[in-house]
């Protein structure tokens, strides 16, 4: 694996960084306080090519790989974890699922609108009673002629209210039976499809998280992706790629917190010298820098395997697990370095701290990542 960042990736990072500083940073705390989902910013990112990073150019996408994608997510998350989360969910989950498993007609119909941010995408697997236990989901899809009728509720869905289309995984077989779920594309405005409760969250408050409700929602069989019963297998493959994006999100948050703490430690003086001169602070910064670099290497390894089409379930789980835990630790240490100021909303580290925790939960908790890693190690 080549550890050098190529010129294209460097330029993409700089362009994304400039965009985030100009169009996101001035409004971060406003959006956080009001829990506003800034749709207009995503429209602008669509024009910049950030909403279809992995999508081939023939469908209107940027046609880039996972190294570039990881860089984009990081640069956005260094400024705002909420926008980074929504960007990752749109690209990896909804758009990624259609790209990987949609037929040509579905790709032609939906991918250009998703990449241009004409459509914001949502992806529904989790339910109130089934998080990791997806095989026991209650949302069902029953065949009726040439249609499917969906009933049930999905929760913790990014863009559950504002998403224009959603990829929904519904049970088409008996609970816990093998191959009992199927993936469907559902458009907003379809009768019986509505948004439900919006969550009032600790962090990531500008990234909309809400229920999606299906009440005798009738969709054509043309909106089914893949064969009946393949939905859960598809989801696991989608989540593998998605875990790289959440790892990148966590890394961006960690980098943002670290850079703020490093700058502050050089400016803040106590006993007539910068606090960076004190070993207690410098050792914290050393640990933060080391952990960030280790997380970055794990992400690069997973991204490299994904780009090459190689199996990367273990590598993606390792990257997501480690990077998300690092984000929490680094942002916690950043607050400590800032002291009392770090506990206020006048400085950025308290938001990094709040946002970081979601990374250890979303797209599979740290505990689930350990199960995945252990299974891969033991079956090697």
Ramachandran angles phi, psi of 68, nearest 5°: -65, -40
Query: What distance in Å separates the CA atoms of residue 185 and residue 216, rounded to the nearest whole number?
Result: 15
Rg (CA), the chain: 21
C-alpha 21, offset from chain centre: 20
Give me the half-sphere count of Cα atoms (radius 13 Å) on the Cβ side of residue 240.
Answer: 20
SS (H, E, C) the chain: CCCCCCHHHHHHHHHHHHHHHHHCHHHHHHHHHHCCCCHHHHHHHHHHCCCCCCCCHHHCCCCCCHHHHHHHHHHHHCCCHHHHHHHHHHHHHHHHHHHHHCCHHHHHHHHHHHHCCCCCEEEECCECCECCCHHHCCCEEEEECCEEEEEEEEEEEECCCCCCEEEEEEECCCCCCCCCEEEEEEECCCCCEEEEEECCCCCCCCCCEEEEEEEEEEEEHHHEECCCCCHHHHHHHHHHHHHHHHHHHHHHHHHHHHHHHHHHHHHCEECCEEHHHCHHHHHHHHHHHHHHHHHHHHHHHHHHHHHCCCCCHHHHHHHHHHHHHHHHHHHHHHHHHHHHHHHCCCCCHHHHHHHHHHHHCCCCCHHHHHHHHHHHHHCC
Question: Active-site positions?
Answer: 363
Query: What distance in Å separates the CA atoms of residue 184 and residue 11, rounded to the nearest whole number?
Result: 37
Query: What distance in Å separates the CA atoms of residue 50 and residue 23, rounded to the nearest whole number?
Result: 14
Strands 165-171 vs 121-124: parallel, antiparallel or unpaired: parallel
């Amino acid at each position: 694996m080549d550890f050098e960042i190529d010129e294209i990736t460097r330029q993409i990072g700089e362009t994304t960084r400039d965009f985030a500083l100009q169009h996101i940073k001035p409004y971060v705390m406003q959006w956080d306080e009001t829990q506003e989902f800034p749709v207009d910013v995503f429209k602008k990112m669509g024009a910049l090519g950030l909403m279809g990073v992995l999508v081939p150019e023939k469908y209107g996408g940027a046609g880039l790989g996972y190294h570039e994608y990881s860089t984009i997510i990081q640069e956005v998350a260094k400024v705002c974890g909420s926008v980074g989360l929504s960007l990752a969910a749109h690209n990896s989950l909804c758009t990624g699922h259609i790209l990987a498993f949609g037929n040509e007609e579905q790709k032609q119909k939906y991918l250009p609108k998703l990449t241009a941010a004409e459509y914001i995408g949502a992806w529904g697997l989790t339910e109130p009673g089934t998080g990791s236990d997806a095989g026991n989901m209650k949302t069902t899809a029953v065949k009726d002629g040439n249609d499917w009728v969906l009933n049930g509720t999905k929760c913790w869905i990014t863009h559950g209210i504002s998403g224009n289309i959603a990829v929904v995984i519904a049970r088409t077989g008996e609970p816990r039976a093998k191959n009992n779920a199927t993936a469907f594309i559902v458009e907003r405005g379809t009768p019986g499809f509505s948004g439900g409760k919006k969550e009032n969250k600790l962090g990531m408050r500008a990234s909309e998280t809400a229920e999606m409700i299906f009440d005798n929602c009738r969709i054509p069989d043309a909106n089914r992706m893949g064969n009946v019963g393949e939905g859960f297998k598809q989801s696991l493959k989608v989540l593998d790629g998605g875990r790289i994006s959440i790892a990148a999100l966590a890394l961006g948050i960690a980098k943002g917190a670290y850079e703020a703490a490093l700058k502050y430690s050089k400016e803040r003086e106590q006993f007539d010298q910068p606090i960076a001169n004190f070993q207690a602070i410098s050792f914290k910064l050393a640990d933060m820098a080391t952990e960030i670099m280790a997380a970055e290497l794990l992400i690069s390894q997973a991204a490299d395997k994904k780009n090459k089409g190689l199996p990367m379930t273990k590598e993606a789980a390792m990257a997501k697990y480690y990077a998300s835990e690092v984000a929490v630790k680094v942002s916690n240490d950043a607050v400590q370095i800032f002291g009392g100021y770090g506990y206020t909303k006048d400085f950025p580290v308290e938001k990094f701290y709040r946002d970081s925790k979601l990374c250890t939960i979303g797209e599979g908790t740290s505990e689930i990542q350990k199960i995945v890693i252990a299974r891969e190690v033991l079956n090697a």
